[in-house]
Chains A and B, each alone.
Chain A
Amino acid sequence: MNNLTTYLAISAALFLLGVLAMMTRKSAVSVLMGVELVLNAGGLNFVAFSRFGNGSLNGQAAALFIMIIAAAEAAVALAIFLNLYRLKASAEVDKADTLQW
């Protein structure tokens, strides 16, 4: 049970759940949560390969970076959402459709 395949399967499930959330949820915050799930699925992959790989700590360092990037990204994204809300009086992503033909 305690092998690489299990971790990868959980990571893939997380990834899919994250993508699903990003695609289906209307609320911008929920989409952001989807993004967090996808990022953390990536981070879980790094950590899993680090544990069951050649034993170096590079993967764990990358996971650490991913967490920092996720925090920064959340800050930027929340700022965008705030502006979106001001502009459209709602925070639903399908309202932001100005950038089309």
Chain B
Amino acid sequence: MLGLALYILLAPLVAFTIVIFFGRKLPRGGDFISLFAIWSGLAASLYLFFTQMLGHYDPAFALSYRFDWVTWGTYKLNIGIAIDNMSMMMLVVVTLVSSLVHLFSVGYMKGDPKYHRFFSFLSFFSFSMIGLVLADNLLIIYAFWELVGLSSYLLIGFWHEKDSASNAAKKAFVTNRVGDAGMLIGMLICFTALGTLNLVELKDGVAQGHLAGGLLTAAGILLFMGAVGKSAQFPLHVWLPDAMEGPTPVSALIHAATMVAAGVYLVARLFPILTPDASLVIAYVGGFTAIFAATIAVAQNDIKRVLAYSTVSQLGYMVMALGTGAFTAGFFHLVTHAMFKACLFLGSGSIIFAMHHVLHNIHSHDDAQDMRNMGGLKKYMPVTFWTFLIATTALAGVPFTSGFLSKDAILGGTLAFAMEHPKHWLLPAFGFAAAGLTAFYMFRLVYLTFYGTFRKGSEAESHLHESPRVMTVPLIVLASLSIFFFYAAPAFNPTTPAGGWFATLFPTPENVTLASGRYVSPASSRLGDEAVEPTAEHASGTEALHSAHLEHLAHNWAMLISILVAGLGIWIATLAYYKWKIDPEKWRLRFGVAYRGMYNKWWCDEVYKATAINGTLGLSKGLAWFDGAILDGIVNGSATVTRLFSTVQGWFDNKVVDGLVNLTAMVVGFWAHFVRSFQTGQVQRYLLYTLAGVGIVIILVVI
């Protein structure tokens, strides 16, 4: 088990090391090494999935391997691998999508000058993501979290010759750091209070009441901030649409299926320790993101941007589900969404690939991703069309698809929450509205792309053809995984996941913040209505019964409403973009400001530019001025003063000290000069001096 898990984790790392260093020299850029690493990882994951997870069929199944990493005196920091149902499920999702994307990239990236680098980065990403999934410890999760961010940065900026791509990469990186800062503080709160970052020990610590109250709520919300960044929730969602600058397989792998789900995964892992208040914040952030991004997706023309906003919206759904306590539904939507959204992105990649080819052949510089240039592709790309259609129905929530199961479960859970707490009716309203919008914009996309006539003329049309098989096979696999019965087995009930293996293996974990008894949850306060003071056991029993009933009721309503709104969305899209009975232009004008808001992404980027970016720039400029004028002024001032002193001292040294020395020398020299003048070397002169001397002596003696 451990060996297998370690193999899944380390194989992509080895592949990354080989391909990044030697890929240029290997045949085919070494892509087969990356492919082998991830496909063998998929095989191992599937083995674990079938033998361990389905083999044990136990919701509480968990294994963990730990070792001491750092010892500080008596404190030991453990790290390790946790293998439970959730991590095995995530392993399958990650390796499956990743291996299909690897395969797709072989076709999509063919001929790219940095082909081998692309594959090494894909391997690196797979390693990081698998590590994130397997970690049993918030610290290790955080480390892999950042590695995932790094590989995302590398892959978004893969075509860094384009300014837009390198800017998008930077934007993604910096925006994520904002969330990660919060996550780090949340981790520090947990560590300070509980002395551990291990997920199981965290849960135990909270259950024993060592961390409770406002601090626990704060820790939950701060940890959630990391998820806000990584899963592109409002207000940190701005990076994800820009991340579409990366190659399309990257968008499918990282920015649709796996990495962005990491935030949801983290929230799901932390689910037991989220207080009701923190959960409420999470639910509202998710719900608002779902509706907010859906409105933007309606007005976009770039095929990948529609999908990007749809991803943001769907991630909002998952987060909302986890916030409202619909754990199973949220995690289920993560899995199903990974499949059909990867299929949609790869399908759009296939379309863009074909469009590139066409535009290249007619020497046009139009945007290959703009849906207004497409149309009628159904005839030329049948495989892409059918797989895309299946994934679209799944995303729109049409019955008999996996998306219907999971979205319905989320909406049902949200509705049950709102029935229990009527003042939070806004959450299901957000959910249903977003469901309708999702159906509308997805069918708008399908109609604009695949139906009607090709808008680039018949000459260009002749260049259209289906993508190679290496690209269509992943589409077929992912599309077939969007059908409900893969998830509903063994119950095969197309309306609810209940009874299926997924719902059985992933029941809602107990929220231990309530068990500590310091919190009075809204749910437990309802017990006051009963005449008899109930015992704890009795109370939880009735409550469970009551909840189950409520959930059942909510589920039926949710299913009805969601089919209605999805049908409405599809119907409007059909009228507007298939039959052209409603003129979209007219409605565009009728909506006025609202349309411009949607088209311009509600001016989020502009607002951030005006506040956060310009604020930071202004602060930097202020600090630069302070540094330049004040600090440098002080330094320069002291230098000037020092120089002044030195000048005075130098003058004193030159004039006074040296002057005295020179004066001494001058006096000596003067006398020497004088005395020297007697020493002429003329014998006769010396004789004269002698005579003069004798004369003086005689005079002295005589006198």
Would you call B680 and A97 a contact (CB within 8 A)? Answer: yes
**CB-nearest residue of chain A relative to B676?**
A101
Chain A residues with CB under 8 Å of B680's CB are 97, 100
Residues of chain A within 8 A (CB-CB) of B681 are 96-100
Contacts of B532 in A (CB 8 A): none
Q: Contacts of A93 on B, CB cut-off 8 Å?
A: 682-684
Q: Does B63 contact A (CB under 8 A)?
A: no
Task: Tell me the smallest distance from the CB of A17 to a CB of chain B, in Å.
Answer: 14
Q: Does A74 sit within 8 A of B, measured CB to CB?
A: no
Nearest-Cβ distance from residue A81 to partner chain B, whole angstroms:
12
Contacts of B684 in A (CB 8 A): 22-24, 31, 93-94
In chain A, positions 69-101 with a C-beta closer than 8 Å to chain B are 93-94, 96-101
CA distance A31 to B687 in the complex (A): 12
Q: Which residues of A contact B691 (CB under 8 A)?
A: 19, 23
How would residues 671 to 694 of chain B score, 1 for a CB under 8 Å from any chain A CB and 0 otherwise? 000001001111110011001000
Give the number of chain A interface residues (Cβ < 8 Å): 13
B683: nearest chain-A partner, CB-CB: A93
* Minimum C-beta distance from B676 to chain A (A): 5
Contacts of B683 in A (CB 8 A): 93, 96
- Which residue of the partner chain B has the closest CB to A23? B684
How many whole Å from A78's CB to the nearest CB in chain B?
A: 16
Tell me how far the C-beta of B677 lies from the nearest C-beta in chain A, rounded to whole angstroms: 9
**Chain A residues near B688 (CB, 8 Å)?**
23
Q: How far is the CA of A37 from the CA of B273 in the complex (A)?
A: 137
A22, B679: Cβ atoms closer than 8 Å = no
Shortest CB-to-CB span from A23 to chain B, Å, is 5
With both chains docked as a complex, state the minimum distance between the C-beta of A79 and any C-beta of chain B, in angstroms: 16
What chain B residues lie within 8 Å of A23 (beta carbons)? 684, 687-688, 691
- Inter-chain contacts of B679 with A (CB < 8 A): 100-101
Q: In the complex, what's the smallest C-beta–C-beta distance from B693 to chain A, in angstroms?
A: 13
CA distance A23 to B684 in the complex (A): 5
How many Å from the CB of B670 to the closest CB on chain A? Answer: 15
Indicate if the CB atoms of B682 and A19 lie closer than 8 Å: no
B696 CB, min distance to chain A CBs, angstroms: 16
CB distance from B644 to the nearest CB of A (A): 47
Complex CA gap A93/B680 in Å reads 13
A-B pairs with beta carbons under 8 Å apart, 15 shown: A22-B684, A22-B687, A31-B684, A93-B682, A93-B683, A94-B682, A94-B684, A96-B681, A97-B680, A97-B682, A98-B681, A100-B679, A100-B681, A100-B682, A101-B676
**Interface positions of A (Cβ within 8 A of B):** 19, 22-24, 31, 93-94, 96-101
Chain B residues within CB distance 8 Å of chain A: 676, 679-684, 687-688, 691
Given A93-B683, A100-B681, 15 extra CB contacts under 8 A? A19-B687, A19-B691, A23-B687, A24-B684, A31-B684, A93-B684, A96-B681, A96-B683, A97-B681, A97-B682, A98-B681, A100-B679, A100-B680, A101-B676, A101-B679
